[in-house]
Homo-oligomer: A and B are copies of this chain.
Amino acid sequence: MIFLGVDPGLQFAGFAIAQKKGQKIILLDCGYLKMAQSKNVPERVQIFYEYFQALIIKNQIQVLVLETPFLGKNAQNFLKLGYLRGILYLLAQQNKLQILEFTPTQVKQGVTGYGSASKEQVARAIKQLFPKLQTSSMERSDVTDALAVMLCGLWQQPSI
Chain B residues with Cβ below 8 Å from A41 are 89
Chain B residues with Cβ below 8 Å from A75 are 71, 75, 78
Q: Residue A28 at the B interface, CB < 8 A?
A: no
Q: Residue A113 at the B interface, CB < 8 A?
A: no
Q: Residue A2 at the B interface, CB < 8 A?
A: no
Instruction: Pick the contact of A78: B49, B78, B99 (CB < 8 A).
Output: B78
Instruction: Pick the contact of A45: B49, B78, B81, B89 (CB < 8 A).
Output: B89
Q: Which A67-91 residues sit within 8 Å CB-CB of chain B?
A: 69, 71, 75, 78-87, 89-90
Copies in the complex: 2
Chain A residues within 8 Å of B, Cβ to Cβ = 41-43, 45-46, 49, 69, 71, 75, 78-87, 89-90, 92-94, 99
Q: A71-B75, A87-B90 are in contact. List 18 more A-B contacts (CB 8 A).
A: A42-B89, A42-B90, A42-B92, A45-B86, A45-B89, A45-B93, A49-B90, A69-B79, A78-B79, A79-B79, A79-B81, A80-B82, A81-B82, A82-B83, A83-B86, A83-B89, A84-B86, A86-B87
Cβ contacts A to B, 23 pairs, < 8 Å: A42-B93, A43-B93, A45-B86, A45-B89, A45-B90, A45-B93, A46-B89, A46-B93, A49-B90, A71-B75, A71-B79, A75-B75, A79-B79, A79-B81, A82-B82, A82-B86, A83-B83, A83-B86, A83-B89, A85-B86, A86-B87, A87-B87, A87-B90
